[in-house]
Chain A
Amino acid sequence: MDLDDLKAEWAKRDQVLQQVLRAQTSLSRALLVEAQLPKLRRRHGMSGIELAIYVAFVVFFGATAASSWGHWTVFVPTVLLDIWTITMGALTFAERARLREIDFSAPILEIQKRLAALQIERARVFQWAFLTGQILWWTPFVLVLFWALLRVDLLAESESARGFVAINIAAGVLLIPVLLWVAHAFGPRLVKSNAGRSVLDSVTGRDLAEARAIAARLARFEAEAAKP
């Protein structure tokens, strides 16, 4: 059977489909659907909860930085955390705004290339955030938290606290390759949920590899079709 035979077969099925759908009553649950449509008008940017958490952290770090002026061992990590949080939020907003702007009615190759490029960018940002977060987030956050809650400058107060911080930073750096190996080796077996698998793919770089493969396939489609 060649493609033209399949075309005739497809046309026959299309006629059957037309008859079947014509026999169905008009779109049932139309009123329910109509009521839902206005809520779906815009793509989501950040959800209300995401935005609230983001603003809360930015304000918290800002306020803590202001109160820790002069205590440099608290002030500097607080400012670093605030900058990191603001940067991550801005990148997320920007990425979602670019996604909202995509016109799905544009030619298919153009849209798929743009989506692949966005996916690559998103995967890179997530990996970068994950890796730097191990070093930039956990230990500085402990220092900031001690100051915010107890007004204790951990690094200034005790020798053992400085040792604790140094060990944590070193462990954070060393833990990254270990975590990546565990995620690659055991992740798919351990993580069953779709959300978990999504995070896992981002952490292991599978997302990035997949996005690059898609971009390469699209480039090949364009290039091959142009050959004589």
Chain B
Amino acid sequence: MLQMTALAIPKEASAMPHAGDEKRFLAFLESQRRTLYKVAYFYCRDPEERRDLVQEIAIQLWRSFDAFDGRSSEATWTYRVATNVAITHRRREGRRIRDALPLDFAFDVADQRFDQDTGQSRQLRALIDGLDEMSRALVLFYLEGFDHSEIADLIGTTASNVGTRLNRIKAKLQSAAKE
């Protein structure tokens, strides 16, 4: 289970930015680096493209930041925004993103350590590459330790639907391993 920290945003946050929002957002963004990296890893093979995607996610998080009302957890909120952006990004691959932030998360070190070329790494990559965008989200959340009802909440479906879908993916993985 994930450790979740409360995001200190007042419930009646107005739509207009407040002074100091930028600093709070940057502190929040830094706390979410791991999540952003993992979502980007699931949706982009190429490290450069991952950086573009992380930028897009960061910009969308910023644009949605003052509307966060605390009804969902910080993790749920971040995963939903990040995954929605990642799925949209995949459909526009190759098209230039209009906005940019001079972010430097130093992900190149993470790339070297996280994405080592091992047998298990190749199996994981093969699994991910064989999934459509929604199934990738499902598997990512499963690997991240969310339970079925949490995954259902993230995706917008029911827990039994999540269970059925995951069972199908497991069966597909097992039959691929036998071949």
Spell out A's residues near B (CB within 8 Å). Answer: 1-3, 5-7, 9-11, 13-14, 16-18, 20-21, 24, 26-30, 32-34, 36-38, 40-44, 103-112, 115, 194-195, 197-198, 210, 214, 217-218, 221-222, 224-228
Q: Decide if the interface of chain B is mainly helix, strand, loop or mixed.
A: helix
**Known A107-B80, A112-B134; further 14 A-B contacts with Cβ < 8 A:** A2-B170, A2-B174, A3-B170, A7-B142, A17-B114, A21-B37, A38-B17, A42-B63, A105-B68, A105-B80, A108-B134, A109-B156, A222-B157, A228-B164
Q: Decide if the interface of chain A is mainly helix, strand, loop or mixed.
A: helix
Interface residues on B, range: 35 or more
State the Cβ distance, B57 to closest chain A Cβ, in Å. 9
When the two chains form their complex, are residues B60 and A104 in contact, meaning their CB atoms are under 8 A apart? Answer: yes
A1: B residues at CB distance < 8 A = 120, 123, 173, 177
- Is B154's CB within 8 Å of the partner chain A? yes
When the two chains form their complex, are residues A27 and B156 in contact, meaning their CB atoms are under 8 A apart? Answer: no
Q: A3-B166, A24-B106, A105-B77 are in contact. Are A40 and B22 (CB under 8 A)?
A: no
When the two chains form their complex, are residues B139 and A40 in contact, meaning their CB atoms are under 8 A apart? Answer: no
Spell out B's residues near A (CB within 8 Å). Answer: 17, 21-23, 25-26, 29-30, 33-34, 37-38, 59-60, 62-64, 67-68, 72, 77, 80-81, 83-85, 87-88, 91, 94-96, 98-99, 101-106, 109-110, 113-114, 120, 123-124, 127, 132-135, 137, 139, 142-145, 153-158, 161-162, 164-166, 169-170, 173-174, 177
Task: Name the contact of A17 in the complex, choosing from B30, B72, B85, B113 (C-beta under 8 A).
Answer: B113
Task: Name the contact of B84 in the complex, choosing from A10, A11, A16, A111 (C-beta under 8 A).
Answer: A111
A43: B residues at CB distance < 8 A = 63
When the two chains form their complex, are residues B84 and A112 in contact, meaning their CB atoms are under 8 A apart? Answer: yes
How many contacts A-B (CB < 8 Å)? 170
Complex: A51 Cα to B166 Cα, angstroms = 48
Q: A38-B17, A197-B94 are in contact. Are A28 and B104 (CB under 8 A)?
A: yes
Complex: A157 Cα to B63 Cα, angstroms = 57
When the two chains form their complex, are residues A18 and B83 in contact, meaning their CB atoms are under 8 A apart? Answer: no
Complex: A9 Cα to B139 Cα, angstroms = 13
When the two chains form their complex, are residues A14 and B34 in contact, meaning their CB atoms are under 8 A apart? Answer: yes
When the two chains form their complex, are residues B63 and A41 in contact, meaning their CB atoms are under 8 A apart? Answer: yes
B124: A residues at CB distance < 8 A = 6, 9-10
Complex: A36 Cα to B96 Cα, angstroms = 19
Task: Name the contact of A105 in the complex, choosing from B72, B106, B155, B170 (C-beta under 8 A).
Answer: B72
When the two chains form their complex, are residues A218 and B63 in contact, meaning their CB atoms are under 8 A apart? Answer: no
The residue in chain B whose Cβ has the minimal distance to the Cβ of A32 is B102
A27: B residues at CB distance < 8 A = 26, 29-30, 33, 103-105
The residue in chain A whose Cβ has the minimal distance to the Cβ of B95 is A194
Q: A6-B123, A38-B22, A41-B63 are in contact. Are A17 and B80 (CB under 8 A)?
A: no
